[in-house]
Amino acid sequence: MKWKEVEFDKKSAEDLGAYLGVSPILGALILQRGYSDLLRAKMFMRPKLADLDDPFRVKNLRRAVLRIIEAIEKKENVLVFGDYDVDGITSTTLLVSIFRHFGISPTYFVPRRMEEGYGLSQAALERALSSGLPSLLIALDCGTNALEAAKYIRGKNIDLIIVDHHQAKDVPASDHILINPHVHNLGATPWSQLCTVGLVFKLAHGLIKEMRLRNDRRSWEINLKDYLDLVALGTVADLVPLVDENRIMARYGIKRLKSTRRTGIQALIQASGIALGDDITPIDISFKLGPRINASGRLADASLPLEMLLGDDFTTCYRAACELNDINKERQEIERGVLEDAVRQVEDNNLGKYPCIVVFDPKWHPGVVGIIAGKLSREYHKPVIVFGEVDSGFTKGSGRSIQGIDLVECLSQCGEILGSWGGHPMAVGVSVMEDKVGLFREKISDTIVKKYGTDIDFSRSVTVNLTLDVSDVGIELLDELELLHPYGEGNREPVFALKNVVLPKPVEVFGSAQNYRFQIPLGDNGWINAVAWKCADKLPPVGKRIDLAVKLGWNRWNRRKTPQATLVDWRESK
C-alpha cells in the first residue's frame, strides 16, 4: 500500500492533550479528527447523554409529536411501516414499543423485498392496507422520494408522517409531516447525520417530554436509555458517521447491549456466538448481529427479526434467532458464488480501468448485490455498483462508494437512463434499463471524472496517523485509545507506524494459511502479540529492519483482555 502520513501541528496537539489531561498522542488523534476547539474536543472525548440537543429543534418533530399524541388520546388505528434493513427494523421496533407503552397497539409492516421492492411501493401498500385503513401511517427509513405513494395514502384520508434520512431528489409535498435532516435543517447540526433509528429516538424523546408536561403518568415510567441498544444496532449497521449525536447514542447504546433486557436481542447475541455479559463492539454489530437481521430481509421476510426484537418469550425469540442463523448461512453461500462471478467479470473485461466499476448479471440474487458492491469497493478501492435481477426491463442494483466520492450526487447526473434511485453518499440503490447498463457505466464514470478530476488516486493506501517509538506502546496508551471508541464511519480507528522493527522469530501461519500471528519487540516494554488477517501471501522477514502499520487495542476474549496489534501493512525500512 501507499503510506500517507497525516500532517498536524505538534504544539497544538501537546496543548490539547494537556488541556484534556491526556497524552500528546491522544491529543494529536483528537486534533486530527477536526476537534481543535477545546469544548468540542472535550465533548468528543467524553460524550454525555446530557449533550443531546433539544429534539424539538428538528424541523417538524413537534408537529409529529402532537399528531401522535392525538392518536394516543383518541385510541386511533396506527400503522408503522418500516424498511427491511437493520435501521428500518430497529426503528420500527423502537416506535412500536413506545406506542405500546402509551396504550396503543399499532399494526406494523415491512415489505417483502423480492416481491414488493423498497419502501412505499404500490404492492407493499396494497398488502399493508388490505386488513383495514388506519387513521395514521408512519413510514420509517423510506418515503422521502415516494411522492406518488404519499399522494395515494393521503387520497385515502390517512394522515402520513415520514421519518427518513435519505436525500431528496425533488421538493417533497407539503400535505404530510416529513422529518428528514437532509431535506430540512440543512447545515451543521449535531443531529444532521442521524440515521432513522436515531431520528425515531429523538421523536420518542420529544413525545415523552410533551407527555410529561401534560402530567401523563406513563411518560414517567419510560427510561429512554433502555432503547439505546436498538439505536446502536441501527446506527452502526447503517454506516452513518459516528460523530456528534451518532457518537453519543452509539457509545451508550453499545454499553447497553452488554446488559440489554430486550429478550430478542439477548437471543440474537447468544445465537451469534457471543456470551451474554461479554462486551459488544461495532465489529460484532457489523459482522455478527447486523448481518443476521439483514439476511431475512435480503432473502426472505424481514418480519421474522422484527417479531424477534418485539418478543418477550426467550424460547420463541431464540428459535427465531436460530432461523436467522440458517438464513444468514444461505446468504453467505449465495454471496460466495456471486462474488466469484463478479470478480471474474471485472478481470476478464478490464472493468477496473473505470472510475466506477459497474457489473451486471440477471442471474445474481438482488438480496446480495449490496454486499458484493461493498466487497468489490474495498478490493479495488473504487465506487462499485452491482446490478442483478431484471424486472419489467429494469435491472436493480446497489452501490458502495469510497471516502470522498458522493454516489448520490453522481447518480443525479444520470437521471435520464435511470428508473428509481436514492440513498446516501456512501451507499445507494438504483435501477437502470437492462440494455443501458454499458451506457450507465460510461456516464457515471464520466460524471466522477468531471466532478472530482482526472487525478483521483484509486491506489490502495493506508493513512498513518502517527509514528510511534516502541516505548510509547503500553497499557496506558491502550487505555487512552478506549476514549476514542466507538470506531466507525467518520471516526476511523487510528493506524500507527512502528519503524525499524526487527522480528526475532518467524511468523506463525494459521486459518487455512490465510492469516498469521507474530510478536513485535517493544524494547524495555517487552513485546506485544500481533495478528495479520488475510495477508499470508506476503510474510514479513526475520532479522531485517521493517516498518509496520498497525492498529493497537485490547483483545477481549472469554472475559479477559490482552494487548494486541493488528497489522495493516508492512514494508522494508528505508
Q: What domains appear along the chain, each with residue ranges and CATH number? A: 2-8+461-572 (2.40.50.460), 51-231 (3.90.1640.30), 349-452 (3.10.310.30)
Could you tell me how far CA 365 lies from the centroid of its own chain? 22
Of 84-98, 256-270, 354-368, 391-405, least confident by mean pLDDT is 391-405
3-state DSSP call for residue 374? Answer: helix
160, 176 contact by CB (below 8 A)? yes
DSSP letter for each residue of 256-298: HHHT---HHHHHHHHHTT--TTSPP-HHHIIIIIHHHHHHHHH
- Burial code (b: 16+ CB inside 10 Å, e: under 16) for 282-301 equals bebbeebbbbbbbbbbbbbb
Could you tell me how far CA 270 lies from the centroid of its own chain? 22
Question: Does 454 score more than 80 pLDDT?
Answer: no
Q: Residue 474 class from Cβ within 10 Å (0-12 exposed, 13-18 middle, 19+ buried)?
A: middle
Which tens digits make up the pLDDT trace of 335-365?
999 999 999 999 999 999 999 999 999 999 9
Of 19-28, 77-86, 277-286, 327-336, least confident by mean pLDDT is 277-286
What's the CA angle centered on 395, arms 394 and 400, to 5 degrees? Answer: 135
| Predicted pLDDT of residue 353 | 93
Handedness of CA 213, 217, 223, 227 (dihedral sign): negative
3-state DSSP call for residue 71? Answer: helix
d(Cα 363, Cα 337) in Å, to the nearest integer? 11
The x, y and z cell numbers of residue 87, run together, are 435501521
Which tens digits make up the pLDDT trace of 275-293?
878 889 999 999 999 999 9
Closest CA to 64 of 174, 230, 257, 204: 204
User: Does 284 or 169 have the greater pLDDT score?
Assistant: 284
> What is the residue type of 234?
G
| Predicted pLDDT of residue 494 | 97
Mean pLDDT of the chain: 93
d(Cα 314, Cα 349) in Å, to the nearest integer? 51
- Burial code (b: 16+ CB inside 10 Å, e: under 16) for 46-62 equals ebeeeebeebeebbbbe
CA torsion, ordered 386, 418, 175, 155, to nearest 10 deg: -100
Closest CA to 530 of 514, 543, 545, 518: 518
| Predicted pLDDT of residue 276 | 77
Could you tell me how far CA 473 lies from the centroid of its own chain? 30
Which tens digits make up the pLDDT trace of 467-489?
999 999 999 999 999 999 999 98
pTM above 0.85, yes or no: yes
| Predicted pLDDT of residue 163 | 98
| Predicted pLDDT of residue 455 | 74
Residue 2 sits at φ, ψ, to 5 deg, of -85, 130
